[in-house]
Amino acid sequence: MAAASLNRARDKYSVLLPTYNERENLPLIVWLLVRSFHESGSNFEIIVIDDGSPDGTWEVAEQLEKIYGSDKILLRPRAKKLGLGTAYIHGMQHATGNFIIIMDADLSHHPKFIPEFIRKQKEGNFDIVSGTRYKGNGGVHGWDLKRKIIRLYRKEVLQKLMEKCVSKGYVFQMEMIVRARQLGYTIGEVPISFVDRVYGQSKLGGNEIVSFLKGLLTLFATT
């Protein structure tokens, strides 16, 4: 029991936060993340993976690093937009936490649910905890194909799943959960509400929707 408590005290959560043209949303999502982790008493870091945003997102990220400290806000940019899946892979290479949280910067899912994810993982010792709108009081507001899911992973589990996954775009997160079930990882669920983006335009345009649907067909055909 004492050893388990000590391990929990040492737990650290690395948030992988890909950004592209999120200048308005980034300060708010970071502030909400910091507040949620402070409320839960958890050790954390936020890894911002900006893909060459032309709107000034990077400059905002640099200011946030100064405000919260380079131990809490890690800036790990890429030269251009290379896909959501590869952004998570890139962020993983710099994560020092033993748990990884993946989410989007557009506030489509609220960081206030993170303490519930952490509690759920500890209660069931789950490998993965996923947000779902199909249980309890979960809901969805203004969502369609743009929906992206917040998830918590054991770091070593996420690393193994990334080795198996072939999707690079928005299908990546769906493939992760399919592969996880195939490999027998334990998955807990937390009911959460989803909302459409707060500021800016959706990054999922017509061509990306077509790619998303093609990716789904490929995923179903190969799993």
Mind giving me the DSSP string for 79-101?
SS---HHHHHHHHHTT--SSEEE
Mean pLDDT, the chain, whole residue set: 80
Confidence check: pLDDT of 98 > 50: yes
Cα distances (angstroms) measured from residue 182 to each of 56, 124, 176, 178, 223: 41, 19, 10, 6, 8
Return the bridge partners of 91, or none.
none
- The mean per-residue pLDDT over the stretch 27-38 comes to 93
* pLDDT score recorded for residue 164: 83
pLDDT in tens, 167-208: 666 667 778 888 898 899 999 999 887 554 444 554 544 454
Mind listing the domains of the chain with CATH numbers? 2-222 (3.90.550.10)
Q: Which helix (H) or strand (E) holds 12?
A: strand 12-19
3-state DSSP assignment of residue 16:
strand
Q: Is 83 left (phi over 0), alpha (psi -120 to 50) or beta?
A: left
pTM for this prediction: 0.78
Strands 128-132 and 73-75: unpaired
Q: How far, in Å, CA of 99 to CA of 72, rounded?
A: 15
pLDDT in tens, 115-132: 999 999 999 999 999 887
What secondary structure, in 3-state letters, does 149-176 show?
Answer: CCEEEEHHHHHHHHHHCCCCCCCHHHHH
